[in-house]
Amino acid sequence: MKIAVIGTGYVGLVTGACFADLGHAVIGVDKEEEKISRLNRGEVTIYEIGLPELLSRHLGRNLTFTTDTDEAVRESEIIFITVGTPQGDEGEADMSYVVQAASDIAGSIHGYKIIVNKSTMPVGSTRLVERVIKEKARGEEFDVVSNPEFLREGTAVRDFTNPDRIVIGTESQKAAGIMAELYRPLNAPLFITDPASAEMIKYASNAFLATKVSFINAIANICEAVDADVKEVAMGMGYDHRIGFEFLRSGPGFGGSCFPKDCQALIEIARSSGYHFYLLEGVMQVNREQIRLTARKAEIRLGGLEGKNIAVWGLAFKPNTDDVRDSPAVEVVKLLLEGGARVRAYDPQAMDNVRGLLPDVEYAQGALDALKDADLLLILTDWDEFKMQDFRKVGEIMSSRDILDARNCLEPLTIRRLGFNYEGIGR
Ligand SMILES: NC(=O)c1ccc[n+]([C@@H]2O[C@H](COP(=O)([O-])OP(=O)(O)OC[C@H]3O[C@@H](n4cnc5c(N)ncnc54)[C@H](O)[C@@H]3O)[C@@H](O)[C@H]2O)c1
């Protein structure tokens, strides 16, 4: 099939490359000329495992990139909208990029097209995009379909090609049939429903996962007080298949470009429909508190932050991505700096993206280089590279053998045997 993908960010680029790999002809569109020139030169603009291989396999063949929405829409049968829906001033999803994209698409529609809302959009957005397009593309035949994306950064290519389910929200049988055909090679459960339910499924799923994270963080804080180990507790809970092991890892709080903004947007969707979502407000409150508690733990270990040297490993919101949007690591580091600490940090992929957000941090060349004169090592993102360090060497470089492992990614016994003071979260 012929596909256009409007917005070549984390979701759009992966979507386009994966559809090309399934044999479709894909045109990726972005407003940012620099991004499109880099992609056309074969440079991958984000860090995502498996993406460089897909790009080099298909670029210039069945995968091309342009800034020209008009040309991409004319050439395509299915047009995916994958632009950002960031948090607006009141916590709601800012739909201006979507409305602009829909308006750009509308002018170029000739003949039947399916426009797919893949970005995370509040309930009613399928209708909204329909209205925007109808106004400009009078008389043209088209359907707008909600098809939310569930991929996770860091495993995006694998998630896109092996989804747990594909959700299609439409009342058009014709569109549902074409979408089913498009995704057929993935061999995944297809869940066809109405647009409002499809839109709600995405928000409800993210809010539920965020709730699990805040729940286990709350349990972790109790574990510390009663001398239990949250890792043991989560493992024991996870064996219950009604609960499961996933998203029960305590840490410095959830972050990233989705959970915080989607939870906030759902609170706003609820509020504007007359329901007060106390539960989700609590989830957000626990999360904000967890970030503060992590910085406070460092302060307590050091007996105050003023003038202390802290080595930080990890700035991305999770491993295997260069994304630092709403990263709890960034928030924790800000609190440490505010308290007067000196921070020397290292992240394998996120340093270029974080410099503007944290200009007062000293950036190291590598994990060991971050440890020079350190009074404390604080692990904020659990990259494999950190877990596999030679901790004998780590101890030799640091001023003081003190580790605060905010991701619970090290084995406390092994680390303590090497002469470190070790503290995790909830252990
Ligand atoms: N990042 C994730 O892990 C993830 C996962 C699932 C869903 N989502 C949702 O997908 C959407 C996109 O997220 P993202 O992380 O890929 O965002 P992003 O910011 O990485 O990418 C958006 C891209 O759209 C481009 N753009 C904006 N307006 C445009 C226009 N009119 N025409 C062409 N290009 C335009 C921007 O230049 C940018 O490159 C959001 O709604 C997000 O909530 C994200």
> pLDDT above 90 covers what percent of the chain?
99
pLDDT in tens, 293-315: 999 999 999 999 999 999 999 99
Task: Looking at the structure, tell me whether residues 129 and 268 fall in a common domain.
Answer: no
Hey, which residues does 145 pair with through a beta bridge? 116
Answer for the pair 378, 399: CB distance below 8 angstroms, yes or no. Answer: no
Task: Looking at the structure, tell me whether residues 379 and 406 fall in a common domain.
Answer: yes
Last residue of a domain, one of 143, 167, 193: 193
Residues 6+ apart with CB under 8 A from 151: 11, 14, 159, 160, 163
Task: Looking at the structure, tell me whether residues 172 and 280 fall in a common domain.
Answer: no
Distance 258 CA to ligand 1 centre (A): 11
For residue 93, the ligand 1 atom closest to its alpha carbon is 41
- Please tell me whether residue 134 adopts helix, strand or coil conformation: helix
Nearest C-alpha neighbor of 411 from the set 368, 373, 376, 382: 382
Task: Looking at the structure, tell me whether residues 115 and 183 fall in a common domain.
Answer: yes
Distances (CA, A) of 349 to 48, 154, 181, 216, 321: 10, 11, 37, 28, 7
Residue 138 has pLDDT above 90, yes or no: no
Distance 97 CA to ligand 1 centre (A): 9
Answer for the pair 329, 317: CB distance below 8 angstroms, yes or no. Answer: yes
Task: Looking at the structure, tell me whether residues 258 and 382 fall in a common domain.
Answer: yes
In a domain, 203, yes or no: no
Task: Looking at the structure, tell me whether residues 119 and 221 fall in a common domain.
Answer: no
Task: Looking at the structure, tell me whether residues 242 and 358 fall in a common domain.
Answer: yes
Tell me the residue type at 317: F
Task: Looking at the structure, tell me whether residues 221 and 155 fall in a common domain.
Answer: no
Distance 8 CA to ligand 1 centre (A): 7
For residue 101, the ligand 1 atom closest to its alpha carbon is 31
Average pLDDT, integer, range 178-206: 98
Task: Looking at the structure, tell me whether residues 261 and 360 fall in a common domain.
Answer: yes
Task: Looking at the structure, tell me whether residues 184 and 267 fall in a common domain.
Answer: no
In a domain, 388, yes or no: yes
Last residue of a domain, one of 167, 193, 219: 193
pLDDT at 378: 98
Task: Looking at the structure, tell me whether residues 140 and 222 fall in a common domain.
Answer: no
In a domain, 200, yes or no: no
In angstroms, the CA 63 to CA 338 distance is 47
In angstroms, the CA 21 to CA 18 distance is 5
pLDDT in tens, 208-256: 999 999 999 999 999 999 999 999 999 999 999 999 999 999 999 999 9
In angstroms, the CA 255 to CA 7 distance is 22
| Residue 223 annotated as catalytic | no
Last residue of a domain, one of 193, 227, 244: 193
Ligand 1 and 10: CB distance under 6 A: yes
Domain carrying residue 73: 2-193
Nearest C-alpha neighbor of 72 from the set 169, 7, 167: 7
pTM of the model: 0.96
Ligand 1 and 132: CB distance under 6 A: no
Average pLDDT, integer, range 182-210: 98
pLDDT in tens, 71-128: 999 999 999 999 999 999 999 999 999 999 999 999 999 999 999 999 999 999 999 9
Q: What's the total number of domains in the chain?
A: 2
